[in-house]
Amino acid sequence: MADHFFTKSLPKVELHAHLNGSISSSTIQKLIEYKKSRTVDGFDVPKEWECCMAGDKKMTLEQGFMIFKIVHTLVDDLQSLAMVTRDVVSEFHEDGVCYLELRSTPRANEANKITKRSYVETILEAILETTKKIDIVVRFLLSIDRRQSVCEAEDTVELAIEYKDKYDGLVVGVDLSGDPKVGNAAEFIPCLSRARSAGLKLAFHVAEVPNIVETKTLLEFSPDRIGHGTCIYPDKGGDQELVDVMLQAKIPLELCLSSNVKCRTVKSYADHHFKDWRKNDHPVVICTDDKGVFMSSLSDEYLLVAKTFSLSKLDLWKLSYDSINYIFEQNTVKEQLRTKWREWKDESI
């Protein structure tokens, strides 16, 4: 059986990581100290933050989104944004991640002279700066928050198209995310179609909560990957037609066990839908979602999967190796990664 040493040394792919949800507690403390240093009257951590920042195992989905509000309060200038981007990339690298796709919603802050364009550029420049120093491939997805207007979503897509060309492939896709209980995701289909026509890949958060009609609409659009897919099987709030669409289309799933269980969209790790998709030999990728929010590294997630579903070291290696198939990159990059994985396997298993 695998242990934490094995899962940390295992080369890994992370395909579902929200930048602002991936900020570690140590970086949060750096941000608080930084905010104190530049605030005339000082800065006290509000009491309502405490339970959210403590990684409460009984966290609700709503509390999870509350942490994003906390982070947005702290990351309110370009210096902070660059700091967290560098830290997040470095921490994934330290955890054995060799290929990382980060995602974030462009945000403007007039008070601190941040535009959506400068927000994206700061992240991309911080990624480039960090990857010159460490051996990790990082790509970026711009996120559409479903709580925003269609007009704002269109702006996000145009930025993604612009920076896809400007940064020579660093921007690879568009993510549809946000509170699944808010809004109608189908309204964003036209601008997502625009992104696809421009050569961008699409990753959708789908079926985090039961919503058969919306899930069917999004699956019929054939995204390149979907996140969570929690409520697709009939016993989890979906129906067999949705399962059949997934199995026929072979749409890869980004699965985040700790996120789902801690937010209580899944009852327990043993009940996680990972086992259902694996039984049907469906493409799955183990991911963190928000490693800072849920205080769980990708190594932790792999170990959790191994212990819960009795996977061997070879099973874990293959799970990680197969993840390379679903990255939003060209075949040349995929082959380079596969070579690294095979060399590691020859030395370690």
Catalytically active residues are 208
Distance of CA 319 to the CA centre of its chain: 18
Angstrom distance (rounded) from CA 144 to CA 151: 11
140 phi/psi in degrees, rounded to 5: -130, 140
Is 18 within 8 Å of 177 (Cβ atoms)? yes
Q: Is 283 exposed, middle or buried (0-12, 13-18, 19+ CB in 10 A)?
A: middle
Q: Decide if 287 contacts 298 (C-beta within 8 A).
A: yes
User: DSSP state, 289?
Assistant: B
In the chain, the amino acid numbered 163 is Y
Provide the residue type at 35 as one letter. K
If one counts every other C-beta atom within 10 angstroms of the C-beta of residue 328, the result is 20
DSSP per residue, 215-271: HHHHHHT--SEEEE-TT-SGGGT--HHHHHHHHHHT--EEE-HHHHHHTTSSS-STT
Q: How far is CA 4 from CA 1, 9, 204, 306, 326, in A?
A: 10, 8, 31, 10, 25
